[in-house]
Every structure is written in C-alpha cells, then in structure tokens.
Amino acid sequence: MGNAPAEDEGIRLAKRVAALAGVSRREAELLIENGAVRVDGVQQTLPQSRVLPQQRVEIEAGAKPQPVEPVTLLLHKPAGMPTDTAHELLVVATHHEPERAGLRFLPAHARGQRCMTPLEAGASGLVAYTQEWRVERKLHEDAAFLEHEVMVDVAGAVSPEALARLERSPARVSIGRQTAEQTGLRFALKGAKPGQIARICDGADLRILAMRRIRIGRVPLAGLQPGQWRYLAPHERF
C-alpha cells in the first residue's frame, strides 16, 4: 500500500492552490509563503499543510507568486539569554505590538536570519538579525567604525580616579546618574565586541550590575521591551 496519506487527510495545500489559481506548484508555494492564502478564513503560510475537499481555500486578490523579500529584524535581547538562542524569540507573538498592527509577519522572515551584532549572555539590548546581503555586508565591512551606545550600571559611586581610567579607554564614557549604591554610565564605543566593556570596567575596578545596548550606529532600540522585536524600517540605516 505504500505510505500514501489517507483520503481523509486531504491534499497538500500547494496542490489545491495550484489547481485553483491555474499556476505551477512552485508558484502556488510562493503565494502561500507570502501569506496570500486563507483556509476557512485563516491565513496559512505552510505549503505542505493539508486541506480537506470541503474546506474553503481563498487567494488574496492581486497576489503575485513572488519570493518573500528578505528583511532585517531588530531584537531587544533579554539579559541572561545567549545570542545564539535569542533567535527563538523571532516569532509573531513577540513582534512589537504597535508595528504588528500594520505589518504582516511571515514565517519565512525568521528563517535563515544571521546575527550580525552579538551580545554577551548577561547583557540586554539591541541585536540585529538580517537576511539582506547589503545589510550583512554593511555590518561586516563597517564593524570597526559603527558606534555602539551602551548603558552600564556599576556598583557604588565612581571615583575620579576610576573615571580617569575609563577616559583612557577606547570608549567615550559619561556619568548619567550616581548614588552611593550605584552609578549609571553611558559608553559610546566604536566596533564594540562582546566582553570589551566588561574588561574596561574591570580595569577601573568597577563591578557591573547591568548592561543594555540602546543603539547600533544610527539605529536605536526604539522602545522595544525585553524579548520584543521589530523590522528595520525602510528609512533606517546603520
């Protein structure tokens, strides 16, 4: 009998769409991956999903079978999460809600994303993932010149001597707020690498309590809460 699916399991959605639209199987897959197909009123984005004969399949008017355009995603990585697992947060449920209302997330947007700006596990803040070769090349070739802005909380007050040591580092450092228990520092550092700010603070005998990257080049964190992500807007440039 082989492994053919039972009739009550239906047929592949791509096959049904191909017959309905009069297009090739590959073109049907592209229509589905672009979010242009609904089954019983619910958007479907997996060509391999199965539909029953009685289910209603609709194709969005004017939809074209084109490859999904590559995108760049900006994530507010939570503290304590390694960068190499943070991509698991790139799902519709964590899409920044104000943006979600106007932009359609497709599962293909999260596939093959490359992290170009890693952060140490203990730090939070802005991380960029991209499928766009131009953005990847920009972040790779200009890595040494892109300025990273990082807010760092350290234990206790920062003495003039410690501040002088910080000022001799490659970073521009300023004090934002200070109490006897804690000091908030702002670091602006070109070509920042994971662990570099921690080493600078160690050299000034400062103990880091928290670290959050709020800007990469000209792109800001822009109100994302930890665990949320948004698309890089068409007008934004690193």
Q: What are the pLDDT digits (tens) for 90-130? A: 998 999 988 887 777 888 888 889 999 999 999 999 999 99
Task: Kindly write down the DSSP assignment for every residue of 166-227, as one continuous string.
Answer: HHTSSSEEEEEEE-SSEEEEEEEEET--TTHHHHHHHHTT--EEEEEEEEETTEE-TTPPTT
Q: What are the pLDDT digits (tens) for 141-162? A: 999 999 999 999 999 999 999 9
The yes-or-no verdict on residue 44 having pLDDT over 90 is: no
Q: What are the pLDDT digits (tens) for 158-206? A: 999 999 999 999 999 999 998 989 999 999 999 999 999 999 999 999 9
Distance of CA 193 to the CA centre of its chain: 18
The yes-or-no verdict on residue 1 having pLDDT over 50 is: no
Sequence-separated (6 or more) residues with CB below 8 Å from residue 223: 96
Domains in the chain: ranges and CATH: 7-59 (3.10.290.10), 72-144+218-231 (3.30.70.580), 147-216 (3.30.70.1560)
Extract the tokens encoding 132. Answer: 């766009």
**Residues 42-72: b if buried by 16+ CB within 10 A, e if exposed:** eebbebeeebeeeeebebeeeeebeebebbb
